[in-house]
């Protein structure tokens, strides 16, 4: 019966590096596991630059600018139609009388 050592994971997670290195020198099973982890780590380091490279930066910036412009225009159009920004600011939509302009009986601007 060949009993495989299962101390590598616990030493790697919970112990310090010195204790792990001492155990790796003595145990061939853990040494093989450590070498496999180093190979995977090297592969990750090799492809890491591919994942960090910015892709389509100009397209992302153009999309964000479009959203800001379209959102601003949309909010202004809705405000002209419904006056909801005045409601948010003052609690009710502003009227011509609130702006201090002379009006007639129908609420239209009075021109002399």
Report the chain's terminal Cα–Cα distance, integer Å: 110
Q: How far apart are CA 96 and CA 89, in angstroms?
A: 16
Per-residue pLDDT of 48-100, as tens digits, reads: 777 776 778 888 999 999 999 999 999 888 888 877 787 778 788 777 777 77
108 and 81 belong to one structural domain: yes
User: Within a domain: residue 1?
Assistant: no
Q: How far apart are CA 8 and CA 22, in angstroms?
A: 11
pLDDT of residue 2: 61
* Percent of the chain residues topping a pLDDT of 90: 13
User: Within a domain: residue 71?
Assistant: yes
58 and 112 belong to one structural domain: yes
pLDDT of residue 4: 77
> For residues 84 and 78, is the Cβ–Cβ distance under 8 A?
yes
46 and 84 belong to one structural domain: no
DSSP SS3 for 2: coil
18 and 72 belong to one structural domain: no
pLDDT of residue 1: 41
63 and 36 belong to one structural domain: no
102 and 60 belong to one structural domain: yes
Residue 109 domain boundaries: 54-112
DSSP SS3 for 109: strand
Confidence band for 16, pLDDT divided at 50, 70 and 90? confident
**Average pLDDT for 3-30:** 83
71 and 19 belong to one structural domain: no
Q: What rounded mean pLDDT belongs to the chain?
A: 83
Q: How far apart are CA 101 and CA 69, in angstroms?
A: 32
CA separation, residue 9 to residues 24, 30, 33, 106 (Å): 12, 9, 9, 84
Q: How much is the pTM?
A: 0.42
CA 2 to the chain's CA centroid: 50
63 and 83 belong to one structural domain: yes
89 and 111 belong to one structural domain: yes
């Amino acid at each position: 019966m060949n009993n495989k050592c299962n101390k590598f994971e616990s030493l790697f997670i919970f112990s310090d590096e010195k204790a792990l290195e001492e155990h790796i020198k003595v145990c061939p099973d853990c040494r093989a596991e450590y070498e496999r982890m180093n190979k995977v780590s090297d592969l990750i380091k090799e492809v890491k630059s591919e994942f960090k490279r910015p892709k389509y930066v100009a397209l992302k910036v153009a999309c964000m600018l479009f959203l800001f412009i379209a959102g601003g225009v949309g909010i202004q159009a809705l405000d002209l139609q419904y006056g909801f920004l005045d409601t948010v600011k003052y609690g009710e939509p502003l009227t011509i009388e609130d702006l201090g302009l002379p009006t007639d009986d129908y609420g239209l601007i009075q021109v002399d």
